[in-house]
Amino acid sequence: MNNQNYGVIGNCRTSTLVSQTEALSFIFFIVIILQSL
């Protein structure tokens, strides 16, 4: 896998890696747990 052939698309909650062939490789979900004090 050549890391220079990938791009990242995302926002504050999800992100994904996209290859030159427009295939989605990985999807990341960001989970933030808020604790009350």
pLDDT tens-place string over residues 1-37: 556 788 888 887 778 888 788 777 766 776 666 666 5
Are 10 and 17 in contact by the 8 Å Cβ rule? The answer is: no
Position 35 scores a pLDDT of 67
- What residue has token string 């896998």? 1
Residue 12 Rama label (left phi>0; alpha psi -120 to 50; beta): alpha
